[in-house]
């Protein structure tokens, strides 16, 4: 395991957080929850029918005897959860509707986080991103001053660590969105001991091409610098000019980045999603995430193509976000 996750385990040792897993019947979730519980660094909470979860774990030879399992239908404080949900939704759901909605494991699990019965949630092994994000936006909501949540990946290979954003949520961010994503991503990087050096990416470097797309990124750079003038951030950059010092010297010799960026802000969701998958599949980077930024409490989304290790690592990150 890389230094990133070794460091997170050290921070969490003796300070285990309760992390909710709504997809309790998935083999990857069960195995990761068992390992997390055994290592004593996260207290996993599995959501599902207890008998079915125990039976599934038994069939797989996975020990969940000391893992907490909550069945929404049998939850002693379900009425309290319903009342809190109705209040939070402010007239958008009746009590009858709430009782039905909260049988959905993602909604129920998110309510546990909102009510401080858990510290964070990890879902997405069998659910879509929308199924994970929608309850979070409706219940936990974004932090004051942040208009939109965004999704980043921590890209890890041996001792290398980079942040890629937005790779999961915002399809066509405008300049204000891009600036907000950049600032949030810098905070995320710092949380994981990455000294943020932020590059706003495009197909142009410092005006080498002019278009609506490049100007949107250039404007985002100005907005971000105004909001945090002390942050090492620049753009617009082609990737090589942001990452390769010799190329940066030729294309952007006056930039503060000097080809040393470690946080990369993509101009659109399609670029970010394609970019991280290329790094993952051709560059052999571990892509951990997407980590959702800007929420009042941590909720994170797995890829449906994840494996047990991905679940374990994202649980560590989710727990670390709640420290």
Kindly state the average pLDDT of the residues 199-204. Answer: 95
First to last CA, the chain: 21
HSE of 184 in the Cβ direction (CA atoms, 13 Å)? 28
> Could you tell me what percent of the chain has a pLDDT over 90?
79
Domain with CATH 3.40.50.10750 in the chain: 147-293
> Could you tell me what percent of the chain has a pLDDT over 70?
99
Q: Is 313 helix (H, G, I), strand (E, B) or coil?
A: helix
Domain with CATH 3.40.50.10950 in the chain: 1-141+295-323
Q: What is the DSSP code string of 184-242? A: HHHHHHHHTT---EEEEE-SSSTTSS-SHHHHHHHHHHHHHHHH-TTSEEEEEE-HHHH
Indicate if the pLDDT at residue 297 is higher than 80. yes
Q: Which CATH class is domain 147-293?
A: alpha beta
Q: Does domain 1-141+295-323 have CATH number 3.40.50.10950?
A: yes
pLDDT tens-digit map of 96-110: 999 999 999 999 999
Tokens of 57: 């774990």
Indicate if the pLDDT at residue 1 is higher than 70. no
In Å, how far are 59, 113, 166 from 53, measured between CA atoms?
10, 21, 35
pLDDT band (50, 70, 90) for residue 304: confident
The pTM score is: 0.84
Cα Rg, the chain, nearest whole Å: 21
What does the alpha-carbon distance between residue 176 and residue 174 come to, in Å, rounded to a whole number?
6
pLDDT tens-digit map of 10-22: 888 888 899 999 9
Choose among 119, 96, 94, 99: nearest CA to 109.
119
Q: What angle do CA 113, 33, 69 make, to 5 degrees?
A: 60
Please tell me the predicted confidence (pLDDT) of residue 2: 67
What does the alpha-carbon distance between residue 202 and residue 14 come to, in Å, rounded to a whole number?
44
Neighbours of 130 (CB within 10 A): 11
What does the alpha-carbon distance between residue 302 and residue 123 come to, in Å, rounded to a whole number?
6
Indicate if the pLDDT at residue 43 is higher than 60. yes
Tokens of 276: 């991280």
Note whether 316 and 12 are within 8 A (CB): yes
Residue 19 makes CB contacts below 8 A (sequence gap 6+) with: 36, 42, 43, 44, 45, 118, 119, 120, 121, 122, 315, 318, 319
């Amino acid at each position: 395991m890389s230094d990133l996750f070794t460091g997170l385990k050290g921070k969490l040792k003796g300070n285990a957080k309760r992390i909710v897993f709504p997809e309790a019947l998935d083999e990857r979730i069960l195995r990761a929850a068992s390992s997390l519980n055994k290592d004593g660094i996260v207290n996993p909470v599995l959501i599902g029918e207890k008998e079915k979860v125990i039976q599934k774990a038994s069939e797989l030879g996975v020990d969940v005897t000391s893992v907490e399992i909550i069945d929404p239908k049998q939850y002693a404080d379900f009425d309290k959860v319903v009342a809190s949900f109705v209040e939070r939704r402010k007239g958008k759901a009746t009590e009858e509707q709430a009782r039905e909605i909260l049988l959905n494991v993602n909604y129920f699990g998110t309510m546990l986080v909102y009510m401080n019965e858990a510290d964070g949630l990890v879902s997405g092994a069998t659910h879509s991103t929308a199924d994970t994000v929608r309850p979070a936006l409706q219940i936990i909501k974004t932090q004051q001053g942040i208009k939109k949540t965004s999704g980043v990946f921590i890209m890890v290979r041996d001792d290398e660590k980079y942040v890629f954003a937005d790779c999961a949520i915002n399809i066509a961010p405008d300049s204000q969105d891009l600036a907000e994503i950049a600032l949030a991503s810098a905070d995320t990087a710092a949380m994981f001991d990455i000294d943020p050096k932020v590059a706003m990416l495009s197909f142009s470097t410092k005006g080498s091409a002019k278009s609506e797309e490049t100007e949107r990124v250039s404007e985002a750079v100005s907005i971000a610098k105004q909001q945090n003038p002390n942050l090492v951030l620049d753009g617009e950059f082609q990737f090589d000019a942001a990452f390769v010092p010799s190329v940066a010297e030729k294309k952007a010799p006056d930039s503060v980045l000097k080809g040393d960026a470690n946080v990369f802000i993509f101009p659109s969701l399609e670029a970010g999603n394609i970019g991280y998958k290329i790094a993952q599949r051709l560059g052999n980077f571990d892509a951990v995430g997407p980590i959702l930024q800007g929420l009042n409490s941590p909720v994170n989304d797995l890829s449906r193509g994840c494996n047990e290790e991905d679940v374990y690592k994202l649980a560590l990150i989710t727990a670390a976000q709640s420290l």
